[in-house]
Chain A
């Protein structure tokens, strides 16, 4: 199966060949995979410059794509996202790889569960968290045709199959008043496993900004309990749920990566399990919040 990362590189190469607006800026990550092209600029290990160069290309009418590991695309040059792109009102497509802990063996420097919260703190960004390589391709191609600011988060973890229907899709309805589980991106796979025997609604969310307030509200119907499962920092979209249900009494359980230093190496699977984001951990949390199913 093609990974999201492989699919991204293939589509980026194709876009460079076929779309004269597209330019790609890298900083020594993915450079060889994208390959030589007159509009592929590798700036060396200079991530702040990478964003500045992307802004300059946008100023000249290009559709820049910037790519690196998550911490080096978002965290290190964050002010450059805010000013060079945001404050200048220039567009770009930022595509990260590594997610929260894909590079767990590399330690904290290469883990970035904070990325969505950081980008979401800036106005005007569309944020995609695809759960499958085919979704990534659709979202990336759509992003290339725009002029806005888009952040796409790739991950090694993927769902069994793509979900069609846009950024927010109700996959399963529970009985009237049943709780709603909102699975973000690649958390759908363990969520489906953990909820198979429960009377729950399950919705899938791949576009987390703008947040689908109306969709969540309608999907919850007469229910009061919402479980939000995010593959990054827990509660990143908790405030958005509150906005969606601002005039309705509700309870929210927000699952994700805790906001704490987690001093372990190992594999992504081990980190997922430690954070309770595998199927068993999600099932335990549901039991605690809703009572045993």
Chain B
């Protein structure tokens, strides 16, 4: 739904793009935790007709950098990050920034919207954080998607162990109990991420991919 026609920049260009997004140092770690998942999604997995929802709107710098690298937003827009008339704020607004499918920043909203979109049969990818899963609204979405076998939905949980009380026995186990398929992969390994994130054609259940990155 938001793919550029040509790739303009590569993964190695992302650090330089990120340096242009200054001012939101509070969310530096959040931004970096999602970087490789976002790159693999936009570089290797997403098709034009797919839709990606960033539920974890905190620290969207990596998201903006990847969108810029892919030519979806202008690179020059990165310099105005957070300014009054900038389309790029510390939390994304779908009405301001091209390629942003949902406005996010208040945690726990993306998965519900993702379920609604996935009910139409479109391939939907939704990225959440492990701490974001604290919000109870996520579990309403997880439970419903599992019950109805929503195979068009992929939830990606970027796990940097930032949930205050943690997830004993693992995040993926909780999704599996609700009828999802789930696996844990190295959130910095591009080949492993591609293999895990690429949907299989005969799926009958929603999928959860837990992308483990450095502890916050």
Contact = CB atoms under 8 A, between A and B. Distances in A.
A43 B107 CA distance: 15
Given A105-B90, A106-B89, A109-B91, A264 B84 contact: yes
Interface in B43-88: 57, 82-86, 88
Interface in B1-44: 23-24
Contacts of B91: 106-110
B60 to A, nearest CB: 10
Nearest to A271: B84
Interface string B90-124: 11110110000001111110000000000000000
A266 interface: yes
B165 A265 contact: no
A155 interface: no
A108 B91 CA distance: 8
Interface of chain B: mostly helix, strand, loop or mixed: loop
Contact of A45 (B23, B84, B107): B107
B90 A267 contact: no
Contacts of B104: 109
Nearest to A104: B84
Contacts of A105: 23-24, 82, 89-90
Contacts of A108: 91, 93, 103, 105
B212 interface: no
Interface in A32-48: 42, 44-48
B106 A267 contact: no
B191 interface: no
Given A71-B106, A263-B95, A267-B84, 16 more contacts: A42-B164, A44-B164, A45-B108, A45-B134, A45-B163, A103-B90, A105-B89, A105-B90, A106-B105, A107-B89, A107-B105, A109-B104, A264-B84, A265-B83, A266-B82, A266-B85
Interface of B: 23-24, 57, 82-86, 88-93, 95-96, 103-108, 131-132, 134-136, 163-165
Interface of A: 28, 31, 42, 44-49, 71-72, 76, 103-110, 261, 263-267, 270
